[in-house]
Each structure stands twice: as structure tokens, then as C-alpha cells.
Structure 1
Amino acid sequence: MHKKEFIQPVACTIEAKSFLRNLSLVKMSFPEEWLDLLSMLQAEKTDRLNKPNTIPIRSLNAALATFLPYLIGAPNAIRKKIEFAIDEDIDSRQREQPSWLLAYKELDVEKLWFLTRAWLNETYRGCESLETVDGLLRLQDLQWQSTTIPLVKGVCDNGTADVSPLAYKVLPAYIADMLVNSCVCIPVGLEEKRLLRIPVETGAQLMTWPPAYFIDKKHRKHGYSYTIDITLQTTPGIPEPRVLFHYGVRRWHCESCLEDGKLYLKHQTSVYLHQSKALLDMAQTKTFTVATIEAIRVEGNTPRIPAWTNHLPQIAKRFGVIIPNAQELTQHPMKWLAGHEGIEIGIVCRNTRYHPIGTGIGPDVQEIITQQIMGILAPQISLLKPFKSFPIPRKIEAHPMMGDLRDIAIHDRLAALEKSVGPKVVIEVRWQKEIVRDMLVDRIIALLTGPRPPLIETSEQSNHADLMQLEDGAIHEDDLTNSEWSYEEDTNQENKSKRKPARKRAKDPLPQQALEQKSLPLPDGGELVIVTIPLDSIGSPLPAPDKKNKQTIHTHTNDRAAKIFRELEPASYPTLVLVELPNYKHPDLRRQFGQRDPKNALRLGMARTGRLTQFITSDASDLDKLRSRSESAVKDGLRQLGYIPFPINFSIPNVAIPDPLLVLGIWFIRITKRRSAVGVHLPVIVLMHTMQHKIFVWLPHDGQIRPYHQALLEITQLNPEQVKKRKRQDALNQVRQFLLNESARQGVENVVAFAVAQNARSTWPGLYNTEAAFDALRFEKGERLFSAKSLPINFRLIRLRTNQRNETPEWYIPGAKPTTTTQGLWVEGDANKQANRLFYSIASKPHTAAKFMVGKQLKPGENYRIPSIVEIIPLILHENDDAATWAIAVDQWRKMGYLTSDMTLFPLPLEFAKKMDEYAAVIGPWIFPEEWKGDEDENEDENEDETRVISE
């Protein structure tokens, strides 16, 4: 951790005289007369006559993006123009003739025509109406039109830039093409790689190509590329939009995805295709197209086979372009990755947890890439000025929850369990291995009654050994394949050896054999009961689906949950169950059992008996790792119980935080599996009082407030049909009712509410950048403002925004080393401290992050998780409030990560609200079954079990 006075955001503004402010292009609308014809064909193909149908336009767009190299971004979705629209609720974009294709110049309409007809004939082959429809589609229906895309149309009422809707797609793509055409090269490892563009629906993406390769100790090649995402973003109150750049890593399959006749591939996997030579009498493309391979079963429980999800190979074959079938591609991925028959194809490796190429890139590489691209773009765009550090007054005494839980006095820890959860609490340990049972019980007792191990001095010899190791072990020559790095090249090595020997904490003793039942008295007469119970058959994998008898994962989940409900007595007190399960996400077990992980069934069944559940995997080969995972599991279980050691009030000189204060975390639960999907509008509000230990939750189905642990249980009992049919307006009206009325009835004069832009705005349009009002509440788009002064309480609303969908900028410290990071609050360099309401928060470096790294360029296996920027905007303030006060409050409540030893992503009440998604996911498959078919999506930042902490 370095204390720096400024950081450099990777965000840019467009120069006032830049040609990028007005781009002259051509566009083409999808012929409206084609829509009804294609809908008729689709209804015939799917046997859905007189029912709504969705035309598979994505497959057509993929083919066009493959063979039309001059399109700007991926083709847009198609929709009908709304005639004579005067309703204010109708988006202005729907009143315009919607664009389908955008290009720099008019492309050959005949080639477009032939591609479209090829897609038509492949997609609807066998339909009786195909010949009729084909005859009704006319070449002259495809017409290019000139258009000018302005960057900014004006300034909204709240001072935010009013950006032309198409600019969000066009400008990033234009900038991406400027970089591609300049032939700028990006260093990847020890090689220079060119950039190619990937058409995406929003913004633009660049990727280094051809892949760089890392050779492991077994002499296997592992390909990877760097990615650069470019987006156009706005910020409330700022009249100019900004261009943001985000960097990442993409890994490629290089070895066969089939072994012993089994397909080792995710259910749906992205495939990137690039023409390495001119095809169809057109110039060599500088773009990729993205297709998808799906792992399917032809029938029953037969082995899965790979298949393209659209007709791209067949369409390409009509034009003499050879795209391999999915079986060939997955058997020989390296052959096509290197290029064959004029096509380069890469299969994305989504199982990143077991890939030798690490996640993320370090701040040193971010700076290098930024300098490279700004050298090309500088005449047209310029980096924002560095953000300055905002000084936070030093506290007289740190809040107890900002440190380790075991630093809190034993009496206070036990008393807090009684105050925040109840006079009697039960923790059941349902185990499969004795060592896991013993370790879990040991960690429960240690966290609630044990002291923190003392610091001890390490010997010079062990200290030297520590310095010569990285996170994953000593550096060997094989680890540095393709590099000339040596120890002498690290100029800081000599200084490191002179440092004072580091102190470490003594190890905890080995756990003792756990008793079947142990009771811990609580200070005010209460009791904590710890019970150990073998898991037995309720923890076995679910039966395999049997379609003949209509037995699916869903029915087996319900059966297992019903079995648990029958066999277990209902819990009479707040009860947490720590459940030991195998790691079903491990490739070996995933291949053996697929989706038969019983976790959802256990959580659902236990919830019906009034029990909370926290899972831990049974890998006990490394006792230190088992101790760490067990401790994390116990901590997250305490969080589910609503355990909080101290109230969240804090005191800082010259920072006027009202006390008492009611703090609200507003969260809209995401039950859908895909992050981009909405579909459900289920708000929850977590309430924390700065003078109380209790954590409460408001749920919308009955409008009642209940303890946190009870709210988790009730979420699993919600009627799926009621959840699915919940209308957006109804959900928003319930939130409106709570904020305007119920919050004033909680007996507290001062209230502050937190909401996250990306999470809330699909239900709460009033939080959109162009709609968010200052010092007034707006719920629906364009509605009349409601003055916060009219409320009977002193109400504040703080909107946060994260880097989800690349909406907040990357950052680095100029001259940064691979592990350089910083923490604190930041403001823009020229911001007026009195009037400014825009702040940025960066969390401290995770305690699990490696201390020393040589850099991604030299060791691709290194993992980087640089803390992202969280944007803070106090939208509503009470008179005489200082906006900086609430930015400081965000920083303080993020630091109260007593259950993680790290800062949380959001302020504590909002973090507790977000974690309720875990219990809502139990009913997800019943609400959107189609979305939950197939394997789970792999998340790069996801740990192997449910001991995930709530840190950033």
C-alpha cells in the first residue's frame, strides 16, 4: 500500500474541436415489411402459430459481422418504428426510424442481399412458406441513408450531458478503428501484438492478436490475449461525456476439449473468428465476429457433443469459406487458433480457475497500454486530470469492527450475539469428515471466545525465504518461460533484504476432537449451542434426471427439500447449519455429477425448517487452507444470523454525522442467472441503526420489517409465480411508499439511504444519469420532482456506481510497480470542494493478495485484482450538510468488514442487502427455468466454495 497524493484515471474527454463530435456515416434500417414475413416463418418453424415469436436476428447479425468488414460495431437488434408516438413515456429512439446497420460508407447491397438470403434459407430450411417468403423479400428494400451522429445534443435539467443514443455505440467503435488502423502495437509478455476490433452491442472492444503463449513445465502451450473495452459514459451533473478504457485478459483453449470420448467444455462457449486473408472479393478484415458453441445432448443421458448455435458454418460454405464443424474445432483448437484455410478461430477458455494464465493485469501494464493508445488518440481526446486525494480527518480511535473480530473483547463478542441475534442461538455442524467437523467447531469457538494469535519475530533465514517466494511458490526457470528475467533485475531486491525482519502471527493449535454438543453461556443469561451431526444421505448428489419419468433437477431438488423437511424437527431458535459438501465445481466432480449438486435442495429444505445454511467444501488436504476456509464459512454464517459486534456509529473530528441515524441499504434482488437480464423486480431494504445491534429487513410481499436472519428464510418461501409476475411499477411504488412514509415511522429523525445505480435503475428509472435529481426525489422517468424538504425526517439519498459494465474508470499511479495500490477518497483535480458532490472511493488491497510480484509481462500466471473505483454521489442532502461528510461515511462503513478482514464493496447495510441474492437464487430455477439449464456461468472472481467473503 502506498500513500499517494493523486491517481490517474483511465478516462478521457473529447477535445472541443475534434471531428469525433460530429460523425458522418451511413445507416440502414431493417425493412419493416420483412418483419411480419419472418415472424410468420418463425411461427411455422417453432409451431407457435398465433403466438409471440422472436426472430433469431443474432445469427444473421453474426454472419453479416463476419463478412462485412466495414460495419461499425455489431448490427443492432431490430424493432418496429412506432408511428405517431406522442406518449411521453415512449423513448425518443422508438420514434425514429431505428437503425440496423451502421457503416463508414455504403457497402455493396448485393453482397448484403445474398448474405441475408443465405441466412434465410439455412435458418428456415424445410418450412413450407420459405419459398413464398423468399420471393417477397426484395433487393430494393435495402437502402442506405446518410446520417450525422452528434456526440452531445445538449445538457439535461440536472446538468448532465444529453448524449445522442447512437453515440454510445458509434464513438467507441470509431476510436477503436482509429487504433486498429494506426497499427499500434501493445506489449503482451515480451512480444508486441497488434489490435483487432470485436463488434459488441454497446461500446467497442479491442483484442491483441495473434495470441501470446505461455509454456508450462510440461511444455504445453497456453494462449492468451489482452482486451481493451471502450465505452462512452455520462455522470450526473457533468455536461461532457467521457470515454473510458478497461483492460482484461482472455484465455484460449489450445488442447483438445474431448478426452476419452467426453466433452470438457462449458454449456455455452464463445468462439472468436477472424479472416486472416481477403475473402468474398473484400479486403482482409480487421475485426472479429463472435459465435457460440453449445454442449448439447442429442437424447437422454448420452454424452454431450459440441454444436454451433447458429448457421454460420453453413452460410460461410455457400461463399467458399471453410468454417470447421464444432467437433473438428473442439478436437483441434490449436490448429484453428494458429490459422487454417484463411480463418483464425479461438475458443474462449471459461474455466479460468484451473487455467495457468492469471486474471487481470497489473497497474504497471495498465499504464503502458494507456500511454500507447493515448499516443495515437491524443490529438482528438485527452486524459482527465489526475484525481486528488481527499484528506479524511484522523479518528481518535478506530471503530472496533474495522479490525479483526478476535481483537474485540470476548465479553463484547458474546454479548453482541445475544443482542443482535437472540438469547439462544444454535449452530449445527453437519459433517462428512471428522477433521472438517473439528475445524469448524474450533473456528466457532475461536472467533467468539478466543484471542488472536500473538505476533512473533521471524528469523532472518525464513524472512529471506519469504522474500524469494511469490504467492504460489518459489520461482523456477520453468515458471519464466520465454523471459530473460533474473533476480538481479529487481532493483528493489537489495532494499528488501535490508528491511526489518517481518513479524508474523503464531499459528493456531490443531483443533481438538469436537463434542456432539457444546454449550457456551452468553453474558446476559443466554446460550450458544453447538451441535455436530453427520450429514448422511441428505448430502448425497441428487439423482440423475430421467426425462422418461419427467424427473428433472427441479423435481429432485423439491424431493430432497421435502425429505429434509420431514426428517428434521423445526428450529425453535435462530439456527445456522454449517454444511460440508464435496466441491462439485471441481472439474472431476462436475464431469461426474453435472448439475446434481444438492446445495440448493439443502438450502431450500433447511429453510423450510427454519435453518440458515452455509456451505464449505470437504477438501482437507491442507490444514492451513482448511482453517482459513472454515473461518470464512463461520464468519459468513454469523453474517446470515444478523450478527454485528457493535453498532455502526463512528466519530471523527469535524465530520458531522448525525447520531442516532437510520441507515438504509436498498437492493433489487437479481434472481435471473444472466446479469444482463432483469425480469424480476424484487426490492429489499436493510435497516441498521447507529445506536443498536439489530439488523432488520423490509420485504415487499407483505410490507413488514423483520430480523435479517428471518428475512433470508422467508425469501426462499416466496411464491415463484408472485415473484415472476411482480410488475416494475408495483415494486417501485412499494419502495416509494417506504421511503416517503414508513421510514419516517421508525422513530429516528435522520435517515440516509444507499442505492447502486446499476442494480436499481431498471426498476427505479429516476436514478438514471440524466434523470437523477439533486435534493429532490424522482422515481419515474420525467415525473415531477418531490422535494425532500417535504418529508417529516431529515432524509439523504446516496447513489453509488461500480465498474459493472465499465461505468467507472480504471486507474493507476504513474510509475507504478506491479503491486502498487492505494486506498482512500478521491476528487477530480479541479473540483470545487464546497460545491462538489462527486467522490471516488478505492478500497484497500485485499489481505490475500500477493505482496511481491514480478509483473504480468514476465509471469503471466500472476493474478491481479486491483480494487476498483466506487463512484459516490450524494443526490439528496439535508440543509447545511457537507457532501464530503457522506463520502467519508461510505469509506468508514466500507472499512467495517469485521467478517472479512478486508473492506467491503459497499457500505455495510448495502453489502448485507446485496448478499440476500444468495437465498433468492434458490427459487430462481423455478421462475426462469430456461435460464438455469446447463452449467453455471464461471465467474473469474468466484472462489471454489461458499466461504466467499463480502469483500471487494
Structure 2
Amino acid sequence: MYHTVRCLAYEPDPDRGPWMEHLQVLRLGEDLHNELTRRSEEANATGDRPGRLPVTRLNSLLQALAPGTVATARHAGSDGRLPWLYAREAVPVDVLAPVIGTWASGLLVGGEGDDDDDLEETLLTEGSASGPRLPAWENTTIDLTETLISGGGTAEPEQRLYSLLPEQIAFRLAEHPLRIRGTILRFRVVSSASGTDLISWPPQRYERGRQTWYYSARLNITVHTVPFAPRFRVHISAGLRRWATRLDIRPRELDGSTVLLDVPIPWPDSADHRRRLMTNTLGYDRRKREIAWRRRSAAPLLPELDILRHYPDAAELFASPEKWITGRGEVAAGIVYHPSLGPHEVGAGLMPGERATLDAWIEDGLRPVLRRVDDLRRVTRRNTPTLLPRTVKKDEPDTREARKSLARRTALAVALSGQSLDVEVVWQSPETRDALLAELPRLIGLPPGSNTDREKKVWRWRHEGIDITVRTRPAGPLVAALTVAQDRGRRRSVRLAEAVEERCALVLSEVGPPWEGIGLVIAEIADKGRFSAVPDSDPKNALRLAWARQGRPSQFINLPQEDTAAVEHRARSTWLDAFRQLGAVSPPAHRVGAGIPSDLQYVALWMVRYTRKGPTRCPVRRLIAVRVRPGGGGLGDVDGWDAERAEWVPYRQLLLQLADSAKPEESSAPGNRLRQPAGSASDSARAAGRSARWQAQTERQIRELLFQLRERPTLLLVSAGNLRQHWPYLRNGALVRDCLAFGTEPQQRHSLYGEELRVVVLRDANGRNEVAEWYAHDGKGKVGFAEGVWGTSDLEGRVFSSITSTPHTAANLPRGLMKLVPAEGSRTAPGKTAWNPTQLEVTVLGCRSPHSEECGNGSCESVDNAAEWATLTHQLRYHDDYQPLSRPLPLHLARLAGEYVLPLATGGEPAKAGDGLVRTAMEELETT
């Protein structure tokens, strides 16, 4: 057992002092900014963010082709007075001018009159009267550890460090190659919106199946804060970047893939450092009906800057990706792999041993300007709740499964509240239907069921107050792909809504016999990959909405495939998820200690946030609150908050109400479509107004909810990454121990919302490496995994780490497995998939603190131990029927409830079921 966890997180060393760097900075200048803005607006009649230049493509060119450029600052396109470029040494104007001129010529296509001036010559000419000259470089000194301390004691870096510091670190690390087992890896810098990447280049090769697969090491560098920490941190995540060398898709299926270009600097007097890879996007252009460079990629401008070399054409790269990743002349290009592009024989992820090797190299490269943060130590040995035994002795009967069946049956009885359960199984394959019928009685310990009709389509179970009827019928055209109209003159969301209404009408036309009690549907459907070729054709959300309108939640099971789990296992999981939707799930019985109130209830908040890329192409915001009340013997009630009636309703009813009440945001309705160009001032004002309304509404709902919880001890669980956009107080720099805040009001003690209220804020990686990667070690060179609750040596600390166990699917991999540079005799190592448990940051924001006013004046009967509340939160991630959850059970239930928020755009008449619809659906089913 390991007792220490080490994170790939680094912080300014307080013993060293500030990290000062002398850099050159270039501002675009008001004159040049105004001139470019004027030309851009005249050339683009529709307008594109007036007063703001689209400098993304230009930044990509400059970072790759201008030697010495360190970073480009944010918002430089909106104000010429802001810093634009940072560089170690001034880049000559004869290098910058051609790049800016080439970019501007592409930007200003369509201009008339005097806009045909040679911008490059203007920029180069000293004191030119024909236009503004490129400003001169300025000397500046920057403290890369500049920090502000918030009112709550959280260290926050100066704003520009979020983009500048990762790039400085990346260049610092790239100066020294990484040596592993005689192999030398050299890294290139890749700038992105989510930090800065280091990519080993050229890629590694893996031979398998008479084919070569390519992959690289990838380090992502980001800057973050930690609640109440005295220093900010730099997180570096380690993984693999896999490259696609065969595309098993048609051109029109390529929605957009990242391409990294390795190009030489085309300036004869500049040293070719080749420190960067240039980011571009390759995708299908539906207007031109061909593969093209998209999203302001810089690749199309390269041939204009360098006529001597051959650069990849978009269609050529799509057709022959392997030819370009190995390099053609001095140019190479790699398409970043995504599962939608087909299979890849290199498995994702790295193992702890490799992470430890990379960590040692990083620590050495950052010394002495940054140091690694202190290791984390165990704060408790009570890592799991009271679970059933995981093993069964050979000479004893297996009572474990019987006890689990009893617990499930009891929870189901409570959720049904004496009503019968009528389940409709809509199947496509007989083996799935039979597995579902066989698994139900085993799962909840029922005696054999009885047939109630001659064709064996109806089964019934009655036992100890539970009455379940299961009806089965073929799916037919119900599960066929949706047919969305191709009339591009109307909004996509409206056309999708019409297709959904068609399917709802078809479901309504095929309603079976009426059911008694509570209804539930289990439907067999093809996996989403079968529908990926045609956007918006997956019928799952349409079926969920259709059955919800009939008062029945729905659960789906995929068709059997060669690479899927056994049908019995999938049937078991399907029933468990169906029971969860009925609210028949119990929280684990914790074993934290007497410091936790016996009548404690759990409340979790989750914000559903859909953009126009959401499941129904409609933006929507909806706050969901779920309450779990543990009872005797581990029994629990699961409820949801009905905001309109201000009352708690059963979880199943919450799901149905979410489907019934989901409405698109005001701006997506046809009558409210913006007549101004996208990005106009009025558009920005509307967006700001909507954001303010969402925030005010969310905070009002949270406050109303908190006042409804005052009568009983409550643990409030919130996810910072999910909710802070609408409750800004959850931002790390705004947090204050034992306080809550809403809107512009001052901080208030959290106990004002309930003397027995405790608040825990959770944070995960959130796709931005917000929580650092880790590995366990024993201090003697042995590394691996370790579960439990971890913290620092600070006895009054409020921030902890929750790490669950490794799933059985990854338990058999050797901890010392080396994928990046395989050891001799382990040639297949790159093909293994490495799965690492992620950290969940647990901040005990509000509890009975010895420093609070209530406890300071002696009114507290007892003082809370923050580590106990972190341990309770950790134990809520465990349940007998599931792999360890990524979030505590109440938050898990709140998030899944969001699947029923399915707003539909208005603008068309509801469809009616007819012969033509059924015939079309059956044709789609045959092709699927």
C-alpha cells in the first residue's frame, strides 16, 4: 500500500524570489489597427466583430515562422494599444512585414479602390506617407510569478501569465531532450486555446498488422489556482498524441480534424530553430463540396510566403496522410487522431512509471524557477463505505449476491410506493430480449415469472409487494434513423424538431395496451456510431422525448456487436440504469464516524448547459437539484426539486417534468432571431444581458432552495466547473471559508442558510487539466496506483483529493509498462490502453469551523473535522452495483437527469403519423 501521492504540479519557489524575464513586446499600434480594421470592414459587407481583427490565423503564422516569438497576447485584435507579440529578441521587420502583408491580402479579399496598396511595402517603409508603419519593438521585464492574493487567501497569477507562462515553460523544457532507455525524444511547442502543448517530434513508430502506426508523447501545460493556496500552480498532464495515417471515412464525414504542420522558416537570414508545430484544421467544406482548410487555418498562406517548397494541399493530405507525417522534403504534417477517423492500434494513455519518468525530467528542467508541490498524504484509512464482501469463500454459500438482490428489491419497492411496474421491452434481436427477461428476476431475487398470453409476449412477477409486468414487441420502424429535411433555407434546429415530432407521432400511433401503475420502456437501438454518417439521424433523443410525453422514462440498450460486452452483462447494466431512473438507488452507508449527523441528507446541484451544438440544436440552461435521504438499513429516497411548484417530487417525476418543460432559450425562437451581423455590438449586448439574467435566475433558485433545507442537516454538493459560470462565487479567487455570496451582495456566513448546512465544492480536470495528474510512490523508486482521501500536512486544510480504485479492466497491466519507449521483449506495449484514476478535488467550503462566529462565541456543540466531510464525499463515489463513480452519487444522479432536458425549436407544425412516414422509417431501418 502506498502512503504518498505525487502530482505533476509545480509552483513558484518562495525561497528563490520572482522569476524575471527580459522580453521584447510589440503593439499593433492604433494607426495600423485602425487601417486594417477599416479595410476589413469594407471588404466584408456582412461585418465580423466590428472594431476587432481576426488575428487567429496571423498569430499562427507568426508563432511558426517568426523566430524568437514566444507568445501572442489575448484580445490584441480589439485594441492596437494592447501588447500583441512577446519575443525573446526582436524579430526583424523584414520578417514580420511579409507575414502580415500575406495575411492582410487574404483578409481583405473583395476590397475596392485604394485597398490594392502594397501593404508589405508600406509596413517596411520608414515614415511612409501611404499608410501606417509597423511599430518598433519595446523592451520589457516581466515577473512570471506575479501574484495577487484574494480576500479568501487564494493566490492568483497576473492575467497575462495564463497564456505567457505556459509558453515560456514549454520553450524552457524543449531546450533539453528527454532520454529514455537510449532513445532521445525532442519536443516541439504547440500553442492552443487550452494551454500550450509539447509534442515529441518526429513521431514514434509502432509496427502491427503489417502496418505502421505513429504516436508521440504529449505534455499539456496550463496555469491554475487552488482554493486557499498561497501560490498558484502549473499543471502538466502527460499522455500520447496519436496520428491518423489511414482515414476509414468518406470526405463528407470529416467534420474537422486538427493538423499540425512542421515547416521550415522561409527566411534566408534566419536561423531555422524549428521550435514549433503550426495548428490547422482540415474538414469538409459543404459549400465547395470538397476537403479544405477550415477555421482560419494558416496553411493556405504558406505557398504565398515560400514558393520554393511544396506544402500539403488539403485534399492531398486527406488522401495520403502517411506520406506527409514522415515528411516530404523539408515539410511534414500530422493529422491528430480521433476515434471517428477509424481504428488505431496504439492504445491511449501512459502508465505510472512513465509519468514518474516524465515528472523527473520536468522537475529538473524547471529548477530553480519552479518547484514541485508537496506530496499528498493519506488522511484516513476509511477509503470505502460499508460495502458487501468482494470475495466469497469456497466452502461457504454465496450470500453476497442474495444480499445485493434484497437491497435492490427493497429500494425498488420504496420507489414504486405500492404501485405496479409495467415495462415495455422494444427489441431488435431475440438474444437481447431473452437476456433482459432472464436477468430481471436474478437481479432483484424474484421467483420465475409467469406467461400471461399464449405468444409469450407478456411476463409477470409478483413477490413481497412487488408487481412487475413486462411486455415485449419488435421495434420495427421506431428505432430507424431520423430523416431530417435538407432545406438549408431554414434553421437546422427547426428541421430537426420536425423530424423529432414525426417520430413522436409514430410512437403515439403505436401505443400498446394501457398499463397500470408506473410505466417504463427499454428499447434496443444501434449505437451512435451507426448514425454518425448522417448528422442528427440518431433517434434516441426523439424516442426519449416521445415516451416521456406518455409518462414513461426510457432506457436504451445497444445492439450486440463483436467488440461489445456479453449480452448478459449489458442486460444487467440496462436494468440497473432503468431502476436508477425510477429512483430505486440507495446511497452507500458511510463509515466516517460519529461526526456525521445521523439524519443527514444530500443535495446536489447540476446546471444543464446546451449550446446550438446540443442534442436538439437548441441552447438551453436549466438548474437541476436532486435530494437523497438515507434511511434505515441503507434505504434511501431520491427526489428532485420542482422549481415552479417549489416542492420536492420523486426522481422519476422530475425526469418527466424536465422533458415536458424544456424550452429553448429566448434568442433561439424564430421571432427573436438577430437581424444584426454575428458579433455586432448589439449581439454582444444581448449576450451580456442573457448571461446576467441566467446568473440572477440561477442564484435566486439556489437561495430559495437553501431556505427549504433548513429543517434538517444537509450536505450541499456542487461542481465548480459546471456551475461557476452562473454562480461566479464558485470561482477559486472568490471563495472564502465558511461563507456564501450571491450577486453583488457581500459575503455572508453559510450558516445563515441553515445552522446544519455543510457545503462541498468539487472540481475535476474539466477538459482543461484543472486538477493535476498524479502517481503514487513509496519513496524508494516503486510507483503505482493508490485509492483514498489525500491531503497536505496543513491540519486546518480545506482542500483534499479523492482517488478511487482502478477498474478491473486495467488491473492486469504491469505498473512499470513502458509504452512510449517499449522495453526489449515488450514490442506490443504501445498497443495497451492505460487507464488512470483521476483526482477529484474536494474543497470543504462550509462547515462548523473553530474560527466561525458561532463556534467562537461558544454556541457550537461541536466543531467539524473537514477531513471527515471530505471522506464522506469520497465514499459517496462507491456503490455495490457500479464501478467507482466519477462524482458522488447525488451529483451523478443530478447530471444524468439532464438527459431529459430536450428543448425543441418552434417554427413548424407537428407532423402526423402516416403510411409514407412508416415506409420511409422501414427503409432507413433496412439500410442501417
| Range class of TM-score, shorter chain | 0.7 to 0.9
- 1:564 partnered with 2:507: yes
What's 1:661 paired with? 600
What's 2:439 paired with? 443
CA contact (8 A) 1:421 1:694 kept: no
AA in 2 matched with 1:585: G
In 2: Cα distance, 1:340 partner to 1:842 partner: 46
- 1:862 partnered with 2:832: yes
Q: Kindly provide the CA deviation profile for residues 282-306 of structure 1, in whole angstroms up to 9, marking residues without a partner as x.
A: 222201110101123347xx7x634
What's 1:774 paired with? 737
What's 1:609 paired with? 550
Of 291, 300, 305, 1:319 maps to 305
What's 1:268 paired with? 256
In 2: Cα distance, 1:740 partner to 1:49 partner: 42
- 1:794 partnered with 2:777: no
Q: 1:688 to 1:216 in 2, by over 3 A?
A: same
What's 2:869 paired with? 886
What's 2:46 paired with? 48
Of 136, 144, 151, 2:137 maps to 144
Of 66, 69, 72, 2:67 maps to 69
AA in 2 matched with 1:145: E
Aligned length in residues: 827
Identical-pair percentage: 23
Q: 1:199 to 1:741 in 2, by over 3 A?
A: closer
Q: CA deviation at 1:925?
A: 8.5
CA contact (8 A) 1:170 1:203 kept: no
Counterpart of 1:860 in 2: which secondary structure?
helix
Q: Kindly provide the CA deviation profile for residues 212-257 of structure 1, in whole angstroms up to 9, marking residues without a partner as x.
A: 111112x1111011101122222111111122211111111223x3
Q: CA deviation at 1:625?
A: 1.9
Q: CA deviation at 1:855?
A: 4.0
Greater mean alpha carbon deviation, residues 412-421 or residues 802-811: 412-421
AA in 2 matched with 1:866: N
Q: 1:708 to 1:673 in 2, by over 3 A?
A: farther
Greater mean alpha carbon deviation, residues 104-113 or residues 425-434: 104-113
Q: CA deviation at 1:327?
A: 0.7
What's 1:419 paired with? 414
What's 2:285 paired with? 296
What's 2:498 paired with? 555
CA contact (8 A) 2:415 2:583 kept: yes
Counterpart of 1:173 in 2: which secondary structure?
helix
What's 1:478 paired with? none
- 1:113 partnered with 2:97: yes
Of 917, 924, 928, 2:898 maps to 917
Q: CA deviation at 1:266?
A: 3.2
Greater mean alpha carbon deviation, residues 157-166 or residues 416-425: 416-425
What's 2:152 paired with? 158
In 1: Cα distance, 2:809 partner to 2:260 partner: 34
Counterpart of 2:472 in 1: which secondary structure?
strand
In 2: Cα distance, 1:394 partner to 1:291 partner: 45
In 1: Cα distance, 2:818 partner to 2:455 partner: 45
Q: Kindly provide the CA deviation profile for residues 536-592 of structure 1, in whole angstroms up to 9, marking residues without a partner as x.
A: 111112236433796944532332233324443787644332221223415xx644x
What's 1:582 paired with? 526
CA contact (8 A) 2:427 2:523 kept: yes
State how 1:538-553 maps to structure 2 within 5 Å: 538-543=478-483, 545-547=485-487, 552-553=495-496
In 2: Cα distance, 1:608 partner to 1:872 partner: 38
State how 1:398-413 maps to structure 2 within 5 Å: 398=387, 406-408=401-403, 410-413=405-408
- 1:332 partnered with 2:315: no
Greater mean alpha carbon deviation, residues 730-739 or residues 50-59: 50-59
Counterpart of 1:272 in 2: which secondary structure?
strand
What's 2:7 paired with? 9
State how 1:796-835 maps to structure 2 within 5 Å: 796-804=758-766, 805-814=768-777, 820-828=784-792, 831-833=793-795, 835=796
- 1:710 partnered with 2:625: no
What's 2:923 paired with? none
AA in 2 matched with 1:771: A
What's 2:467 paired with? 527
In 1: Cα distance, 2:565 partner to 2:152 partner: 54
Q: CA RMSD in A?
A: 3.6
Q: 1:79 to 1:63 in 2, by over 3 A?
A: closer
Counterpart of 2:636 in 1: which secondary structure?
coil
Greater mean alpha carbon deviation, residues 272-281 or residues 427-436: 272-281
CA contact (8 A) 2:524 2:558 kept: yes
Counterpart of 1:537 in 2: which secondary structure?
helix
AA in 2 matched with 1:693: G
Greater mean alpha carbon deviation, residues 399-408 or residues 42-51: 399-408
Q: CA deviation at 1:326?
A: 0.4
Counterpart of 2:733 in 1: which secondary structure?
coil
Q: CA deviation at 1:195?
A: 0.9
Q: Kindly provide the CA deviation profile for residues 444-492 of structure 1, in whole angstroms up to 9, marking residues without a partner as x.
A: 23222269xxxxxxxxxxxxxxxxxxxxxxxxxxxxxxxxxxxxxxxxx
In 2: Cα distance, 1:549 partner to 1:264 partner: 20
Of 679, 699, 706, 1:743 maps to 706
Q: CA deviation at 1:682?
A: 2.6
Greater mean alpha carbon deviation, residues 193-202 or residues 374-383: 374-383
State how 1:681-760 maps to structure 2 within 5 Å: 681-691=621-631, 693-698=636-641, 700=643, 703-717=646-660, 718-722=662-666, 727-746=690-709, 748-760=711-723
State how 1:205-284 maps to structure 2 within 5 Å: 205-217=197-209, 219-255=210-246, 257=247, 262-263=250-251, 266-276=254-264, 279=267, 281-284=269-272
Counterpart of 2:504 in 1: which secondary structure?
helix
In 2: Cα distance, 1:855 partner to 1:729 partner: 50
- 1:349 partnered with 2:288: no
CA contact (8 A) 1:639 1:899 kept: no
**Runs of at least 5 residues in structure 1 that lack an aligned partner in the other structure:** 82-95, 452-512, 928-952
Counterpart of 1:140 in 2: which secondary structure?
coil
Q: 1:405 to 1:871 in 2, by over 3 A?
A: farther
Counterpart of 2:831 in 1: which secondary structure?
coil
Of 168, 175, 192, 1:200 maps to 192
Q: Kindly provide the CA deviation profile for residues 890-944 of structure 1, in whole angstroms up to 9, marking residues without a partner as x.
A: 1211113x442x2111111111112233333x448899xxxxxxxxxxxxxxxxx
Q: CA deviation at 1:209?
A: 0.8
Of 619, 633, 637, 2:574 maps to 633
AA in 2 matched with 1:252: W
Counterpart of 1:611 in 2: which secondary structure?
coil
User: When the two structures are superposed, what TM-score results if normalisation uses the length of structure 1?
Assistant: 0.79
Q: CA deviation at 1:657?
A: 0.7
AA in 2 matched with 1:295: Y
Q: Kindly provide the CA deviation profile for residues 164-220 of structure 1, in whole angstroms up to 9, marking residues without a partner as x.
A: 1111222221111111122x2254x98432111111235321011100111112x11
Q: 1:607 to 1:733 in 2, by over 3 A?
A: same
Q: CA deviation at 1:619?
A: 1.9
Greater mean alpha carbon deviation, residues 45-54 or residues 367-376: 45-54
Q: CA deviation at 1:649?
A: 5.0
CA contact (8 A) 1:274 1:288 kept: yes
AA in 2 matched with 1:517: V
User: When the two structures are superposed, what TM-score results if normalisation uses the length of structure 2?
Assistant: 0.81
AA in 2 matched with 1:668: M
Q: Kindly provide the CA deviation profile for residues 578-624 of structure 1, in whole angstroms up to 9, marking residues without a partner as x.
A: 221223415xx644x55422222222222222222222221255896
Q: CA deviation at 1:332?
A: 1.7
CA contact (8 A) 1:313 1:322 kept: no
In 2: Cα distance, 1:704 partner to 1:386 partner: 45
In 2: Cα distance, 1:46 partner to 1:602 partner: 43
Q: 1:378 to 1:445 in 2, by over 3 A?
A: same
AA in 1 matched with 2:437: V
